[in-house]
Structure 1
Amino acid sequence: MSESTDALIPRPRRVLAPGAVHLPGWLTPDRQRELVTLCRAWASGPVPMRAVTMPNGGVMSVKSVSLGWHWLPYRYSRTADDVGGGAVAPFPDVLRTLGRDAVTAACGPEEGAAYEPDAALVNYYDDAAKMGMHQDREERLNAPVVSLSLGSSCVFRFGNTENRNRPWQDVELVSGDLFVFSGPSRFAYHGVQKILPDTAPSGIGFDGRLNITLRQTGLA
């Protein structure tokens, strides 16, 4: 996979902090369209895409569907306990291969070969959706987190590992971009500040933003 060649201003690989790597244009346009088609199928069942209700009663503006393990705030389950209790769809082989390739590209072949993702969270953002600063801490391992962007661009805020406050860096993530958290940055706070409307590439097949996040849970 190679960086997009049609950008007027090149966007080089960036290491925002040790273990936090941004690879712009990592997914080719054809691969992006393939993943959008797959996301449509995953969102249709067996567990439908839904807006997650937080323990405090708030409802997330992002809509999500899980694969491999069903994500609920602060835990994983094999069943969708918040939407009917059905069994979550298996983790797809295509995402296992993609995750290993992503970690290899960001962290090197040794880490890529050892990466065994078993959970995916597919998030859909409309133009008004956002996600507050948070850590990915439900996993039992500190294996890398792989994040893939499709559709509209967003302002992604990458923070520190101690709290939700400064220091942080704001990064524009564009369709096809890869972002990997690993090592010292594995538990960094992060969030999506806003979606940038009308920035999706032509032919992507939908409005808004899709984010595919791959994780290795360490659960049996």
Structure 2
Amino acid sequence: MDPTDRGEAGPAPRAFDDELFPRERTEVAPGAVHVPDWLDTERQRELLAACRTWARPPAGLRTVRTPGGGTMTARQVCLGRHWYPYAYARTVVDGDGTPVKPFPDWLGELGRRAVADALGPGAATAAAYDIALINFYDGAARMGMHRDSDEQSDAPVVSLSLGDACVFRFGNTETRTRPYTDVELRSGDLFVFGGPSRLAYHGVPRVHAGTSPPELGLTGRLNVTLRVSGFPDAP
């Protein structure tokens, strides 16, 4: 079964529809902006369908193993370039060895529009987005504090959320510890970080299982992260 398909009923979802006030766009740190409900339901469904296709082998969803012998609890599939700790390759060097799936033009355009909407038209990079890391979280998955520092570009990172809500911890550029800000990301939310926050530490300490919108038909959380590689041989 596709790991992102809805299976048996999980815990009752938290109620998000009884809030008195709509969530607002928030600048969490300089260059780091949270835009709630950026993707409408139909666009979320379209992106989810694409993720399910990308998750299938070859070069499909895999468990990431660290050099020290540990494993990441969130599983991952890559587009454009294959990320493994801590480099990029054209093939799934730590998996089935097949060529990484291509990065579609429409996803790059979505990334550029996300940056313009979050940071303003002047922040949209002239460089083309050419990498996607797609992480699947079940209710027990976490992501430790880390920096996205394996690229050769300082273009903003674009993060799109589907499914279960999570606590997204956004920190500083110097240390994995405080100061940091915890932000609740829900299905359809956009988070963009660039400029002085491009190399900030960030992670996911908690997933709120059972909070995925019923109309999406997804158990768990998907995070689609778009980056510009900046590599000399990039398209």
Same fold (TM over 0.5): yes
Unmatched runs of 5 consecutive residues or more in structure 2: 1-16
Alignment partner, residue 199 of structure 2: 187
C-alpha deviation, 1:85, in angstroms: 1.4
**In terms of mean alpha carbon deviation, does 112-121 or 174-183 score higher?**
112-121
Alignment partner, residue 128 of structure 1: 140
C-alpha deviation, 1:165, in angstroms: 0.9
% same residue: 57
- CA displacement, residues 88-114 of structure 1 (integer Å, 9 cap, x when unaligned): 011011211110110110122232252
Alignment of 1:1-220 (within 5 A): 8=19, 9-112=21-124, 114-219=126-231, 220=233
**In terms of mean alpha carbon deviation, does 69-78 or 113-122 score higher?**
113-122
Alignment partner, residue 3 of structure 1: none
- CA displacement, residues 135-189 of structure 1 (integer Å, 9 cap, x when unaligned): 0000011110000000000011000000101000111000000000100000000
Unmatched runs of 5 consecutive residues or more in structure 1: 1-5
* Count of residues in Structure 1 that have an aligned counterpart in Structure 2: 215
Tell me which protein shows more strand as a share of its residues: 1
3-state SS, counterpart of residue 107 of structure 2: helix
C-alpha deviation, 1:115, in angstroms: 4.3
Using the alignment, how far apart are the partners of 2:69 and 2:141 within structure 1? 17
Asked if structure 2 preserves the Cα contact closer than 8 Å seen for 1:100 and 1:115, the reply is no
Equivalent position amino acid for 1:35 in 2: L
Using the alignment, how far apart are the partners of 1:187 and 1:194 within structure 2? 22
Using the alignment, how far apart are the partners of 1:200 and 1:142 within structure 2? 32
